Amino acid sequence: MEVKIRQIGHDVGVVLPAALGLTVGDRYELHQMDDTLVLTPVHQGLFANPADWVGFRNRISQEDREWDRFEN
């Protein structure tokens, strides 16, 4: 999907298409890797309730562990 950088006051921005299903007020972190920009959603309170994570380590598959050790 191609978008165009626009002037917004003294800054620049991008208008995101409604088809993405985003909501006004959603929060995202912006990461820059060389000339690539990546938006990732901010998940507030993700670790707020420790009970939600009980047994999580036991559900990690062997394949997941192998990917964690994968070197590129």
Per-residue pLDDT of the chain (72 residues; tens, 9 = 90+): 899 999 999 999 999 999 999 999 999 999 999 999 999 999 877 778 888 888 887 888 888 888 878 776
The answer to whether the pTM exceeds 0.75 is no
With beta carbons less than 8 A apart as the criterion, state whether 41 and 26 touch. Answer: yes
| Within-domain flag for 71 | yes
Q: Which domain holds residue 69?
A: 45-72
Distance CA 19, CA 1 (A): 11
User: Alpha-carbon dihedral of residues 16, 21, 27, 28, nearest 10 degrees?
Assistant: -60
| Within-domain flag for 1 | no
| Within-domain flag for 27 | no
| Within-domain flag for 10 | no
| Within-domain flag for 72 | yes
| Within-domain flag for 19 | no
CA dist 59 → 45, 46, 52, 54, 65 (Å): 21, 18, 13, 10, 11
- Number of folded domains in the chain? 1
| Within-domain flag for 65 | yes
